[in-house]
Structure 1
Amino acid sequence: MTAMTPGSNLPLSAVRVAVDVTAPVRLDVSGLLLAADGKVRSDDDFVFYNQPAGPGVTHSAAAGGGDTITVDTAAVPEGIEKIVVTASLDTPGATFAGTEPTGTVRNADDGSVLASFTPPQLGTETALVVVEIYRRAGAWKVRAVGQGYANGLAGIATDFGVSVEEPAAPAATPQVPPAPPAAAPAAPAGQWGPPTGAPVPAAPPAPAAAAPPAAPAAPPAPGKINLDKGRVSLQKNQTVSLVKGGRPLLSSVRMGLGWEPAFRSKSIDLDASVIAYGPDRKKVDNCFFGKLTILNGAIQHSGDNLTGEGAGDDEAITVHLGGLPPQVTGLVFVVNSFSGQKFSDVAKAYCRLLDAQSGEELVRFDLTHSEPRTGVMMAKLIRQFSGEWEMTAMGEYVDSRTVRGMVKPAGQAL
């Protein structure tokens, strides 16, 4: 058996494989069949306890607890490139902090264990992609993923193209509890119920003769914040999806970073940098004033500003999103005080994301507090498995005067 790490992959030696997902707490496990565009073809490609069978993929209870997604690679349609196995917490409000789910990959015919994977460093996530079974050059492989989501299974489903609807408001009179999942009738995917976002069966229609006038349909679930309404102003820990008009932003963007000396403070020398990470949270490279271009020009630094004085961005880092190599899945933008001055001596620190071609400001984050420390993680860009990038405002301070000292804390913050 092979113990996998995030981003690692193995060829599959069996045609039929089973992925058992277990944890000390109850999980809802599902499988999504994705085409080349990273989306399901229809809700029929979403396999979970209430829709336990799809083309070549089935859901069942695992022996000894947990759930199993079984993939018969010979029966998976040609148009399907990968099957992602996801898990979400069944308890309302719970996160994966302190909980370590494990995905175990077995030969579905003889039960022999091929690999196992326990995603590391989980925290506020309420759902995650555990592993994916995917085609490569006519063969099938398994990849350890461990990508977390803060908005539950509904967030994963939406990213991969499943129709997600708001549940109807609860009736004022007591209702008969629904049957447990094992006894529930099959229902279309995309019906979600409170409070955890776990799939529930859709209610059957009332007989036509006795039905009162139909109530208006519930509005669709609000999606992630995106760029459709123009510039987005973020608060700390808020996230925006870099999608406009339904299309991921994959052009060149520029992260502008600026600051001013606090009242009556001397000029301050801050350095802006970006650290590129792989799916295992390991550094791929970093770009700063001493290394102005990395990743074959996909990331470029504007150069050092020694004072922080003057209007406009003090330093800027241009990222060609479409030119980033596939092993880069996360970027963390940081600012350090090489001279040792503290951020309590800084005023009006901010970062803003612009369209590099038009100069249009897309996203802005203003630091609203300061700490007497020498480094701050401003923002991160994370590549989603559906292809788009998300930007999250951070504003986390650390003690580090150089980008080298930011590598470990920034990796932990991904």
Structure 2
Amino acid sequence: MTAMTPGSNLPLSAVRVAVDVTAPVRLDVSGLLLAADGKVRSDDDFVFYNQPAGPGVTHSAAAGGGDTITVDTAAVPDGIEKIVVTASLDQPGATFAGTEPTGTVRNADDNSVLASFTPPQLGAETALVVVEIYRRSGAWKVRAVGQGYANGLAGIATDFGVSVEEPAAPAAAPQAPPAPPAPAAPAAPAGQWGPPAGTPAPAAPPASPPAAPPAPAAAPAAPAAPGKINLDKGRVSLQKNQTVSLVKGGRPLLSSVRMGLGWEPAFRSKSIDLDASVIAYGPDRKKVDNCFFGKLMILGGAIQHSGDNLTGEGAGDDEAITVHLGGLPPEVTGLVFVVNSFSGQKFSDVAKAYCRLLDAQSGEELVRFDLTHSEPRTGVMMAKLIRQFSGEWEMTALGEYVDARTVRGMVKPAGKAL
């Protein structure tokens, strides 16, 4: 048997595999069949206790407690690229802090154990993707994931395209005003919404219906904090020092995101070797770890680097860093993304430097920040992600230049920028 770590994978030697997910507490375990776009084709691809069978995938109770998702790889439709096995806590409000779920992968025909995986360092998560069974070049493999979510099974299901029935927003918000305003006479006091004292209950509405409550200025919509926006209206383009809250539809984004960083040599400049890195900090602004071309994975796989680009030429991101937000350990409260010129070339030799945050599963661009100017220095702090007390993350565009040719030289200035 192989004990897996986050991000590791193994080829499957069995056609039918079972994934048992167990824990000291009651879990709800499910399997989602995902197409190439990372989404289910329909709600029929969501297999769980209330819908225990899908094409090639079944749900059942595990013999020793917990639940089992069984995958018959020979029966999985051709359009399905992977089956993700998820677990959420049955008790409302409970988190995985102090609870270690284990996924055990076995041959479903002879019960021999192939691998096991226990996601490390869980905290505020209420649901997580445990493992995924995926197709690669015609063969099937298993990957340990351990990606956490703070919004339960509904958050996972929504992330993968399942329609989740949710109660409508409280009816109080869109109700009509308590009563039409009193006759629209100029003498009526501004902002008066109810009928004047002594007016009988409105058995019949006044003759001039909604002829104009003087703009609902009396009930302002409490705008977000100045300079802060969220993801509800789609992609956000940030300017320097502007902040976006990584919240969509009232829910914090705690899935995997990818920070893509790109640049081009300035006109008539030679190719330029820049290095993108991320530095993780604790609440005291002290470095916890950093991820760069020489250290491609940190924090148990919660942060992963794409590798070094030596020229900056070509379309698209030059280097990318993937962050499993829900999988970051609690002691990490801030991330600063930086770019350095190891060869000593200045950023005045760089054109079109930018960073952009993407949904790592769908590839959807969420936030973009384009540097509008450059300075003759060797390092730049592009953006920072800060974990709020509420659990959500906020991204702020920085665009601050410093003299530092390596990520080591960025630790102090980036800490001060938090």
> What is the TM-score of this pair, normalised by structure 1?
0.52
Q: Say which SS state the counterpart of residue 414 (structure 2) adopts.
A: helix
Q: Who is 2:359 aligned against?
A: 355
Contact 1:165 1:191 survives alignment (8 Å): no
Segments of 5+ residues of structure 2 without an aligned counterpart are none
TM superposition shift of 1:152: 1.1
Does the C-alpha gap of structure 1 residues 329 and 129 become closer, same or farther in structure 2, counting only changes over 3 Å? farther
- Tell me, in whole angstroms, the C-alpha distance in 2 between the residues paired with 1:321 and 1:250: 5
- Listed one character per residue, the Cα deviations across residues 359-414 of structure 1 (whole Å, up to 9, x for unaligned) are 99986999999999999999667999999999699999999999449999999999
Q: Larger deviation: 306-315 or 135-144?
A: 306-315
Contact 2:179 2:195 survives alignment (8 Å): no
- Listed one character per residue, the Cα deviations across residues 306-325 of structure 1 (whole Å, up to 9, x for unaligned) are 99999999999999999999
- Listed one character per residue, the Cα deviations across residues 77-103 of structure 1 (whole Å, up to 9, x for unaligned) are 111110000001111111111111000
Does the C-alpha gap of structure 1 residues 114 and 365 become closer, same or farther in structure 2, counting only changes over 3 Å? same
- Tell me, in whole angstroms, the C-alpha distance in 1 between the residues paired with 2:2 and 2:38: 27
Q: Who is 1:208 aligned against?
A: 211
Contact 1:378 1:395 survives alignment (8 Å): yes
TM superposition shift of 1:244: 11
Q: Who is 2:178 aligned against?
A: 178
Contact 2:120 2:300 survives alignment (8 Å): no
TM superposition shift of 1:279: 23
TM superposition shift of 1:350: 16
TM superposition shift of 1:126: 0.9
- Tell me, in whole angstroms, the C-alpha distance in 1 between the residues paired with 2:75 and 2:202: 27
Does the C-alpha gap of structure 1 residues 216 and 284 become closer, same or farther in structure 2, counting only changes over 3 Å? closer
Q: Say which SS state the counterpart of residue 148 (structure 1) adopts.
A: strand
Contact 1:51 1:189 survives alignment (8 Å): no
> What is the TM-score of this pair, normalised by structure 2?
0.51
Contact 1:184 1:201 survives alignment (8 Å): no
Does the C-alpha gap of structure 1 residues 331 and 144 become closer, same or farther in structure 2, counting only changes over 3 Å? farther
Does the C-alpha gap of structure 1 residues 222 and 135 become closer, same or farther in structure 2, counting only changes over 3 Å? farther
Q: Say which SS state the counterpart of residue 188 (structure 1) adopts.
A: coil
- Tell me, in whole angstroms, the C-alpha distance in 2 between the residues paired with 1:41 and 1:192: 49
TM superposition shift of 1:229: 2.5
- Tell me, in whole angstroms, the C-alpha distance in 1 between the residues paired with 2:8 and 2:249: 34
Contact 1:51 1:188 survives alignment (8 Å): no
- Tell me, in whole angstroms, the C-alpha distance in 2 between the residues paired with 1:37 and 1:279: 37
Does the C-alpha gap of structure 1 residues 265 and 235 become closer, same or farther in structure 2, counting only changes over 3 Å? same
- Tell me, in whole angstroms, the C-alpha distance in 2 between the residues paired with 1:130 and 1:198: 64
Provide the aligned length of Structure 1 versus Structure 2.
Answer: 413
- Listed one character per residue, the Cα deviations across residues 256-309 of structure 1 (whole Å, up to 9, x for unaligned) are 999999999999999996359999999999799999999999999999999999
TM superposition shift of 1:22: 0.4
**245, 251, 255: which one pairs with 2:255?**
251
Q: Larger deviation: 226-235 or 18-27?
A: 226-235
- Tell me, in whole angstroms, the C-alpha distance in 2 between the residues paired with 1:365 and 1:121: 32
Contact 1:50 1:181 survives alignment (8 Å): no
TM superposition shift of 1:333: 2.5
Q: Larger deviation: 261-270 or 101-110?
A: 261-270
Contact 2:191 2:217 survives alignment (8 Å): no
Q: Larger deviation: 402-411 or 93-102?
A: 402-411
TM superposition shift of 1:172: 17
TM superposition shift of 1:117: 0.2
Q: Larger deviation: 331-340 or 218-227?
A: 218-227
Q: Larger deviation: 140-149 or 228-237?
A: 228-237
- Tell me, in whole angstroms, the C-alpha distance in 1 between the residues paired with 2:92 and 2:404: 38
Contact 1:6 1:279 survives alignment (8 Å): no
Q: Who is 1:378 aligned against?
A: 382
Q: CA RMSD in A?
A: 15.9
Q: Who is 1:345 aligned against?
A: 349
TM superposition shift of 1:131: 0.3
Does the C-alpha gap of structure 1 residues 75 and 256 become closer, same or farther in structure 2, counting only changes over 3 Å? closer
Q: Who is 1:400 aligned against?
A: 404
Contact 2:2 2:116 survives alignment (8 Å): yes
Q: Larger deviation: 138-147 or 212-221?
A: 212-221
TM superposition shift of 1:123: 1.2
Q: Larger deviation: 19-28 or 381-390?
A: 381-390
TM superposition shift of 1:155: 1.0
Q: Larger deviation: 373-382 or 311-320?
A: 311-320
Q: Please say if 1:192 is aligned against 2:193.
A: yes
Contact 1:43 1:188 survives alignment (8 Å): no
TM superposition shift of 1:227: 3.6
- Tell me, in whole angstroms, the C-alpha distance in 1 between the residues paired with 2:402 and 2:74: 51
Contact 1:164 1:220 survives alignment (8 Å): no
Q: Larger deviation: 345-354 or 119-128?
A: 345-354
TM superposition shift of 1:134: 0.6
Contact 2:147 2:255 survives alignment (8 Å): no
Q: Say which SS state the counterpart of residue 155 (structure 2) adopts.
A: helix
TM superposition shift of 1:51: 0.2
Does the C-alpha gap of structure 1 residues 145 and 214 become closer, same or farther in structure 2, counting only changes over 3 Å? farther
Contact 1:50 1:201 survives alignment (8 Å): no
Q: Say which SS state the counterpart of residue 323 (structure 2) adopts.
A: strand
TM superposition shift of 1:33: 0.2
- Tell me, in whole angstroms, the C-alpha distance in 2 between the residues paired with 1:119 and 1:193: 58
Taking every aligned residue pair, what percent have the same amino acid on both sides? 96
Q: Who is 1:278 aligned against?
A: 282
Contact 1:83 1:134 survives alignment (8 Å): yes
TM superposition shift of 1:198: 50
Segments of 5+ residues of structure 1 without an aligned counterpart are none
Larger Rg: 2
Contact 1:371 1:397 survives alignment (8 Å): yes
